[in-house]
Amino acid sequence: MKTQKTTLISEELKYEFFNVGTQEDVADPIIIAKFFNPSGAGTWYAIAYNEDKNICFGYVTSLGYDERGYFIINELESLSLPPFGLGIERDLYFKSCPLSEIAGKPS
Residue by residue, pLDDT tens for the chain (107 residues) are 445 567 899 999 999 999 999 999 999 999 999 999 998 889 999 999 999 999 999 999 987 789 999 999 999 999 988 888 899 999 999 999 999 999 866 55
Per-residue pLDDT, 65: 85
On whether residue 4 sits in a domain, the answer given is no
| pLDDT at residue 4, as a whole number | 56
Question: Is position 101 within any domain?
Answer: no
Q: Has residue 106 been placed in a domain?
A: no
CA–CA separation, 6 vs 85, rounded Å? 12
pLDDT of residue 107: 53
Nearest 10 degrees: CA dihedral of 32, 72, 86, 9?
Answer: 40
Per the domain annotation, does 78 fall within a domain? Answer: yes
Write down the pTM of the prediction: 0.89
pLDDT of residue 81: 84
Which residue intervals of the chain are DSSP H helices? Answer: 11-20, 73-78
Q: How many domains does the chain have?
A: 1
Structural domain of 34: 11-96
> What is the spatial distance between Cα 2 and Cα 86, in angstroms, rounded to a whole number?
8
Is 105 part of any domain? no
> How many alpha carbons fall within 13 Å on the CB side of residue 93?
0
Backbone φ and ψ for 11, nearest 5 degrees, come out as -65, -35
Residue 61: how many CB atoms within 10 A of its CB?
A: 21
DSSP at 91: -
Q: Tell me whether residue 83 is in a domain.
A: yes
Predicted pLDDT of residue 73: 97
Do the domain assignments include residue 103? no
Residue 32 lies in a domain: yes
